Structure 1
Amino acid sequence: MERISLIILTNGTENGLKRCAETCLEQDYPDLEVIVASNDPEIATKLPMTDCKIVVKSGEKRKNLKAVGLAQAIGDYILFIEAEDFLAAPDAVTKLMNIRQKGNNDVLFTNFVALKDGKFIYPSPKIAGILMPLNFMLFIRCYDSFRRLGGNLFSRQLLLELGDNLNGFDIQTLSYRLLELAQSPNFTEQICYVWDGAKSIPTFVWPDNYHFTDTSRLAHSRSTTEWTKTEQIKIAVCVDNYGASKVKVLLYSLERNHPCGGTIYLIYDHLADDLKASLVQLGNQFMNFKLELIKFSVNQRRLLQQISLEKAHLPLSAYYRILIPYLLPEVERVIYVDYDTLVIGNLTDLYNTNLHGNFLGVIRDLGVVVKNDWSKTLLGTSYQNYFNSGVLLMDLTAFRKYGLSWLLHQFIVASTPFFVLEDQDALNLFFKDAVEYVGIENNYVTKLFVNGEVEEKRQLEKIKVLHYLGPEKPWQNISNYPTAMRPAINLYRKYRQELYSKNSVGVPMISVVVIVKQQHEIRRCLESICYQDWPRIEVIVIDASSDSIAVKRVIEEYQEQITQIKYQRVNTMCNDHQLHQLGLKTAVGEYLTFINAIDYMADKMPIVKVMGLLRTKKIDFLCTMHMFTLDGKIVGYNAPGSLIETTGNSTTSLLAYQQVEYQQLTGIFFASSLLSMVNNESSDKVWLQQLFSASRHSAFWQGYSWIESER
């Protein structure tokens, strides 16, 4: 059986000394010795027992008594105990030794509980990940157990190898050095040690010039590397199905702003067939760029699946870029861009940047992460160098030469549980001091329009890449977005409309007739229509309000975002049916719907869903559900999303089934071909019944398409 030496470090003045010694003597582990190392010549008179070794070195500081106790120890393993602390239970050592033996560990760091003001304080963070050389420092930074001495179990041989450094190192450095020396280090959640909560645990401090990898040294050794400038550029974008559904505007913006073109590599794992086909179709229309779709191999997918997403807020596709050097084996360098960016300037200068031997060209993350102190926590004194990973100039040749993708993969696997911003944090630590910083205009985070310092502010015309970082995406409803951010959102939508105008052949148009009765109603309604991601939407505004000037002003704001928007001022005395019929007179869409300006379209782009149903199911009359606001909250009935066939039903039976939905025009989507079969002189109620009777294929979608506001 392996022997363990418990070494109590004491000045002889600690209030908990007696309790500490008693818990050591109570241990049920059979092969154990207790050593008291002290600087107090009278220590023997202050102990409750005699069955222990006592070693005294007068005048020595308590922190330096470790070596004094170790010199007397004969155990295979050493557990230091500070005199204010104590072991949690009589079987504490037995439990630790069982864990050690099971893992054959020569270093075992343990969890602990603090005792303060008579209350036990249990550790909050759960241990994440496995100790390995690439994450030693991250464990030390994250967990207090690595910055206290007591309660951890060490091989006596490893402690002896430290020599004078056993006393010379601070606890953080000592822990790191022991981890480096260990053959099989471990960290257990098992609580066997009680810490005096009145003491403070030393704060983590990044060591001077600490680097997780050798990238900085390698970069400096190749600082004279030259790059031959070229007009054609190569771009890499990584997408999953969601990203692929949003990436077209970015691709179009690249094509629009680079007359010399080049190649865009769209990297993916699995894509729906319709998405893939639409992207190929878009690429075939480009004149400047060649669009290539690059799919992962089975082995590459397995590598990525080793990365933990347990606490992640980003999908696995965020990590695709680490394999770009091997997905593009013949390419020397690329500009990687996130799919939530918009390129509004020429990136040729960025592409030809002299990296001076560094592996990446990056842009500092000003005003976003730096301002909320996360970068200080992650990088310490180097926090101002934290960069955003949404735009990266990558030297793929250098990546391949030094095998950096595989090492980066290992680092991410080892370190992801410790990060807040996941792969971006990993890149910042992995490539510390091995990156070339370029201008902020190459990755301008739109939040800077709101919270940026004066020196960070940029005019849109001076920016090359807009990055819609965070929840404020341009393809969502921006009603609640900060005003300062809206010009950047509007520009994205302008690009989207340009793309749609050139790439919507064969796509049917839907005409949305908006009825305005009060001028303050129109903005939210138009916004909810504008963010619908359908290529061809015609909006017809029938204005029966008392202030046409205010309504026109709002419409002008949306004309660049909704290219087909019509306006008609009408008599305020018109009834609802007359207003609806006036809207129909100018509508040219193959499909139509109505909405009151006080109401608005639901989230999650219902027009896209509805138009998909109308086309694929060949439906010419579709009724949908709606939510409503009550006391400022949006509520609604159960909407499972099912499609219910209603062809052949009577309007009477439908009114009994869904009385509310079938008594109003809002939420009804129908083919314009039905208009020739109905009498426009009747009331809305009768007209709606006629539309339904005229339809050849009708259905009811149990999904929300609009929200009714409180009147």
Structure 2
Amino acid sequence: MEAKISLVLLANGSQAALDRCLDSCFRQSYSEFELLVFTDETVQVAREDERLRVYETSLADPGALRVAALRRATTDYLMFLEAADFLVGTDALAIFMTRLAEQQSDLAITNLVFYKEAEFIYPFSRAKTRALTVNNYLLCARLYGSFRRLGGNLIAKDLLTRLGEQLGTLATQDLYLKLCLLAKRPVYLSDACYAYSIENGRQLPAFSWQADYHLGPAAGLVKQIQASHYQASVPKKLALAVCLDEYSAGKVDVLLYSLERNNPGGGVILLSSPYLTVTYLIKSHWRVTIYL
């Protein structure tokens, strides 16, 4: 028996965009879903389908939508949709569920497709399906817009339930961090199944640094070593020289942030690369020298 999905849609914006989103849902080859539509009646949900359930209500923010959806969903998985967006092709849900089974995952973050003026733009077409871990989450969250918007990701209902009151209060970016920590095997999918409209000046939310986004175990290991009889071998300050290629130069902000978080005592780091652009501002006792 195929697993069922609750598609959750906040009906707002233009009528044409909403109709496009609804059409993309009902033409899916994977038919085991229910569509929960929350509307304040500024737009019309003119559809007749036994899988459709419409709730006339005014939801002030995404947190309220999540809580309302969890309360009404009758399936094991939820996917939120933004009315300006839509599912790509007829097999989007089928691909999602296939990948979920292959990866034995309970949280799937989708690849992002931009849509503008009837054209698809694939900014991350070379991205690979990968498991999300404490070692790569920060890089993925900064690079891929899927971690900063509510729509298009497939979430096990149990994960949302376990968030408790935080479900209604967390910002979207923080929500996915918590979900990834709770999930048994969170994954980022290479399949481009969800289109994010960038029409009328619409843009993705910007990434926001948070103190607890550094999830690596280095800081804890250093503290353990310092508390042991090997303490004398741990330098109070570090001196590092790093040569960066074009790809890694784009991730240097993450390196600096990690060094600062794990080694507040400071040190010296020499960065050498012709591609280098540093935007993260070191706030502790590190001294950064750049050779271009």
Q: TM-score, normalised by structure 1?
A: 0.34
Deviations 1:46-99 (A, max 9, x none): 112032101232353355312212221111111111011111112211111111
Counterpart contact for 1:114–1:121, Cα < 8 Å: yes
Shift of 1:211: 2.9
Match of 1:85 in 2: 85
Match of 2:277 in 1: none
Shift of 1:178: 0.8
Label 1:435 to 1:360 Cα distance change in 2 as closer, same or farther (>3 A).
Answer: farther
Structure 2 residue identity aligned to 1:432: R
Counterpart contact for 1:78–1:153, Cα < 8 Å: yes
Match of 1:121 in 2: 121
More helix by share: 1
Match of 2:36 in 1: 35
Match of 2:61 in 1: 61
Counterpart contact for 1:419–1:425, Cα < 8 Å: no
Structure 2 residue identity aligned to 1:163: G
SS at match of 1:89: coil
Counterpart contact for 1:215–1:431, Cα < 8 Å: no
Shift of 1:109: 0.8
Counterpart contact for 1:388–1:424, Cα < 8 Å: no
Counterpart contact for 2:36–2:69, Cα < 8 Å: yes
Shift of 1:225: 9.5
Once the two structures are aligned, what percentage of the paired residues are identical? Answer: 27
Counterpart contact for 1:64–1:167, Cα < 8 Å: yes
Label 1:179 to 1:62 Cα distance change in 2 as closer, same or farther (>3 A).
Answer: closer
Tell me, which stretches of 5 or more residues in structure 1 are unaligned? 229-331, 334-357, 364-386, 391-415, 448-466, 471-711
Q: TM-score, normalised by structure 2?
A: 0.77
Shift of 1:120: 1.9
SS at match of 2:203: coil
Match of 1:207 in 2: 210
Match of 2:258 in 1: 429
Q: For 1:227 and 1:105, how far apart are their aligned partners in 2?
A: 40
RMSD, matched Cα? 3.8
Q: For 1:16 and 1:212, how far apart are their aligned partners in 2?
A: 38
Match of 2:156 in 1: 155
Q: For 2:270 and 2:99, how far apart are their aligned partners in 1?
A: 51
Tell me, which stretches of 5 or more residues in structure 2 are unaligned? 274-288
Structure 1 residue identity aligned to 2:238: V
Label 1:430 to 1:421 Cα distance change in 2 as closer, same or farther (>3 A).
Answer: same
Q: For 1:11 and 1:423, how far apart are their aligned partners in 2?
A: 39
Label 1:77 to 1:209 Cα distance change in 2 as closer, same or farther (>3 A).
Answer: closer
Counterpart contact for 2:3–2:32, Cα < 8 Å: yes
Q: For 2:182 and 2:4, how far apart are their aligned partners in 1?
A: 21
Q: For 2:21 and 2:290, how far apart are their aligned partners in 1?
A: 57
Match of 1:361 in 2: 237
Larger Rg computed on CA atoms: 1
Shift of 1:165: 1.9
Deviations 1:469-517 (A, max 9, x none): 66xxxxxxxxxxxxxxxxxxxxxxxxxxxxxxxxxxxxxxxxxxxxxxx
Shift of 1:424: 11
Q: What are the within-5 Å matches in structure 2 for residues 92-491 of structure 1?
A: 92-124=92-124, 126-127=126-127, 130-198=131-199, 199-208=202-211, 210-216=213-219, 333=233, 359=235, 361-363=237-239, 388-389=241-242, 419-420=248-249, 429=258, 432-434=261-263, 436-438=265-267
Match of 2:5 in 1: 4
Q: For 1:155 and 1:194, how far apart are their aligned partners in 2?
A: 21
Q: For 1:137 and 1:468, how far apart are their aligned partners in 2?
A: 24
Q: For 1:137 and 1:179, how far apart are their aligned partners in 2?
A: 11
Count of aligned pairs between the two proteins: 270
Match of 2:281 in 1: none
Structure 1 residue identity aligned to 2:60: E
Counterpart contact for 2:138–2:213, Cα < 8 Å: no
Counterpart contact for 2:241–2:270, Cα < 8 Å: no
SS at match of 2:126: coil
Q: For 1:87 and 1:160, how far apart are their aligned partners in 2?
A: 25
Q: What are the within-5 Å matches in structure 2 for residues 421-570 of structure 1?
A: 429=258, 432-434=261-263, 436-438=265-267
Higher RCO structure (Cα 8 Å, ≥6 apart): 2
